[in-house]
């Protein structure tokens, strides 16, 4: 029988209704977490809750808008009332808005505020209310950045600003709260096969591997949500107790491969070879 790496740990995953968040909820549930799924969309949140429970896990969906501090305060108040503690906070919720986002001179103030409200303020709100529940016993915070937080990517300046800020905030939190036994780390995914990536694809809502080669992906494929969730599981578990303040790309090598806008000469050769 597989060892339960999160047995009895009280865990929060934001944006757990779909994509990477859904994969993480199902994985954490299988590993014994007492799981709280903070999700804005009730249908997907309940769907994830049902899937975790059907697999034998313990999960509760709480409808939550991470951009609204009152909504987040209420969610964590419920967790505090039931458990009085929090062991893992996985700040996964985020948006990329293809169209409303873009070059900074073209982004409206309203769209700028909306994207920062979810992606960056959401992390602030969850840390603000979650960290006090961690201080007595310690725990793990897992933040979600992106390749856009560590390299320059055009046409998504609001998204990039939030992800770069999350990288910097992760380092500050790691220094500030380690004395309480709270570890803070950050994952930087890219090229993961989720609905959000489909919507952000300028060539259409398909996972077209040949076109993806053009943005210089060394692994020559999309990543799967579970591949990110597995890293989150490690960072949440007691196997990573001396890992603090790290920014870990989960991108198949995108961020070490240079200019994402540069066409990849390998694409035609690989296509011709039937790869």
DSSP-derived secondary structure for the chain: ----TTTT-EEEEETTTSHHHHHHHHHHHHTT-EEEEEES-HHHHHHHHHHHHHTT-EEEEEE--TT-HHHHHHHHHHHHHHHS--SEEEE------BTTB-SGGGS-HHHHHHHHHHHTHHHHHHHHHHHHHHTTT-EEEEEE--GGGTS--TT-HHHHHHHHHHHHHHHHHHHHHGGGTEEEEEEEE-SB-SHHHHHH-TT-SS--HHHHHTT--TT-S-B-HHHHHHHHHHHHSGGGTT--S-EEEESTTGGGS--TTS--THHHHHHHTT-
Alpha carbons within 13 angstroms on the beta-carbon side of residue 243 total: 19
Whether the CB-CB separation of 162 and 107 falls below 8 Å is answered with no
Active site residue 90: no
From 96, 129, 159, 177, active-site residue: 159
Query: Active-site positions?
Result: 159
């Amino acid at each position: 029988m597989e060892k339960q790496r999160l047995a009895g740990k009280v865990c929060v995953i934001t944006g757990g209704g779909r994509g990477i968040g859904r994969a993480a909820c199902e994985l954490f549930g299988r590993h014994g977490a007492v799981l709280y799924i903070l999700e804005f969309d009730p249908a997907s949140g309940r769907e994830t809750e049902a899937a975790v429970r059907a697999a034998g896990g313990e999960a509760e969906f709480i409808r939550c808008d991470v951009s609204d501090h009152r909504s987040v305060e209420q969610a964590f108040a419920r967790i505090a009332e039931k458990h009085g503690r929090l062991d893992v906070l996985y700040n996964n919720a985020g948006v990329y808005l293809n169209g409303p986002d873009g070059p900074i001179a073209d982004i409206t103030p309203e769209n700028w505020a909306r994207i920062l409200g979810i992606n960056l303020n959401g992390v602030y709100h969850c840390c603000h209310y979650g960290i006090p529940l961690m201080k007595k016993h310690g725990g793990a915070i897992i933040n979600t950045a992106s390749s856009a937080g560590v390299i320059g990517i055009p046409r998504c300046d609001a998204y990039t600003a939030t992800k770069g800020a999350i990288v910097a905030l992760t380092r500050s939190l790691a220094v500030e709260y380690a004395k309480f036994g709270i570890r803070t780390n950050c994952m930087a995914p890219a090229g993961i096969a989720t609905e959000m990536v489909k919507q952000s694809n300028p060539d259409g809502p398909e996972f077209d591997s040949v076109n993806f080669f053009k943005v210089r992906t060394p692994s020559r494929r999309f990543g799967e949500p579970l591949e990110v969730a597995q890293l989150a599981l490690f960072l949440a578990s007691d196997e990573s107790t001396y890992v603090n303040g790290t920014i870990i790309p989960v991108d198949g090598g995108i961020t070490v491969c240079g200019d994402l806008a540069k066409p990849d000469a390998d694409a035609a050769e690989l296509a011709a070879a039937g790869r």
